[in-house]
Amino acid sequence: MAAPPPTSQEYAVNRTAKTLTSAGGMVVAGVLAWAVAAPHGGGAAAHDKGKPIERARSAQNADNAKSVLWDGDASHGLGVFGTTLCDAPGSVTVDNWGTARGDFFKFNKPIGVPRCEAHNVRTGSGEYAFRDGRTYWFGWDSMTKTGEAQTVFQWKSNGTNDQHSQNYPVIMKVEDGRLKVWYVAPGEEWIAIGSAPWSAGAWHSVQLGITTSSGGSGKLSVYMDGKEIASRTGARTWDDLGNKPRWGTYWGTDSSTAAINWIDGLAMGESRADVD
């Protein structure tokens, strides 16, 4: 059974710590740790010690205001997903290189395997039930072994074949050294809506916002490394039986190429600020 989801305060502390250290913040993290541990004293020394504490509290209060619907950090294990889709000898595992980044997911698709993906999100009450007419934001960090990881995200439609009108209204691929984003309209009409250079072997931050609509009034926006790289309005983003997110690496019918996608810091909220 998956562990209960962390509180918003636990999530904020966990994500803030990763942000600080991944940004070269070992010194900053040390200051914050000293500020929390420093004893209270009198005079000017106590006044100086209070400043780091106040700054730390202000930052924590700002993070506590986030509306986090799901904390999918790898430190919670594979139970944060609804299921994983990866045939042996492929694997979806939790990895850790002994750096300040801590735990992260490794989606390892060897030759002979078409996909290694994680499907949907799971909270303490079970698999999350997405709904029409809502706005969801997803945030994560990703690093691929090469500039050819193919499909790394799908807003996957529920059901199969004739049960849906859109197989995946939103899809992202890493190919040709770029992160490419498509809106896929009914009738399998692929509409490229943006792309950006993607460096293999380097971590990139990604945020995706989707306003769900079965009637064609949906919206979507993608940010990479702090800049919006794709957007679309007037989109049908909610299929006949609904949709769920899917991360990893997927090559369709091509199983001749190996690929690895590492993913860290997964989260879902109601605004970009919740998951950035």
**CATH code where residue 174 lies:** 2.60.120.200
156 and 247 inside one domain: yes
Q: What is the pLDDT of residue 237?
A: 98
112 and 42 inside one domain: no
119 and 143 inside one domain: yes
Report phi then psi at 219, rounded to 5: -135, 155
Give the dihedral of Cα atoms 207, 267, 168, 199; nearest 10 deg.
50
SS3 76: helix
pLDDT tens for each residue of 71-121? 999 999 999 999 999 999 999 999 999 999 999 999 999 999 999 999 999
- Say if CB 179 and CB 117 are below 8 A apart: no
Task: Please state the pTM of the whole predicted model.
Answer: 0.79
Residue 160 neighbours by CB under 8 Å, 6+ apart: none
97 and 20 inside one domain: no
Closest CA to 90 of 119, 114, 110, 117: 110
- Say if CB 228 and CB 234 are below 8 A apart: no
Containing structural domain, residue 204: 69-275
Q: What is the pLDDT of residue 254?
A: 86
Whether the pLDDT of residue 18 is over 70: the answer is: no
- Token couple for 16: 């803030």
Overall domain count for the chain:
2
Q: What is the pLDDT of residue 2?
A: 45
164 and 265 inside one domain: yes
Whether the pLDDT of residue 20 is over 80: the answer is: no
Q: What is the pLDDT of residue 39?
A: 40
End-of-domain residue from the set 20, 49, 64: 64
- Say if CB 106 and CB 94 are below 8 A apart: yes
Q: What is the pLDDT of residue 197?
A: 99
CA distance 10 to 139: 17
Residue 256 exposed, middle or buried by CB count within 10 Å (0-12, 13-18, 19+): exposed
Question: Per the domain annotation, does 1 fall within a domain?
Answer: no
56 and 75 inside one domain: no
21 and 34 inside one domain: yes
- Token couple for 216: 């064609």
pLDDT exceeding 70 applies to what percent of the chain?
A: 76
Q: What is the pLDDT of residue 164?
A: 85
pLDDT tens for each residue of 32-68? 333 334 444 444 343 344 444 454 555 555 555 678 9
Residue 86 neighbours by CB under 8 Å, 6+ apart: 92, 107, 108, 109, 113, 115, 116, 117, 248
CB atoms within 10 A of CB 82: 16
203 and 262 inside one domain: yes
30 and 111 inside one domain: no
Q: What is the pLDDT of residue 65?
A: 63
User: How does the average pLDDT of the chain come out, rounded?
Assistant: 85
- Tell me the mean pLDDT in the region 121-132: 96
239 and 130 inside one domain: yes
Closest CA to 271 of 207, 226, 217, 182: 207
CB atoms within 10 A of CB 60: 14
pLDDT tens for each residue of 175-209? 999 999 999 999 999 999 999 999 999 999 999 99
- Tell me the mean pLDDT in the region 258-264: 98
Whether the pLDDT of residue 154 is over 70: the answer is: yes
End-of-domain residue from the set 64, 81, 109: 64
End-of-domain residue from the set 26, 44, 64: 64
Classify 252 in phi/psi space as left (phi over 0), alpha (psi -120 to 50) or beta: left
Whether the pLDDT of residue 263 is over 80: the answer is: yes
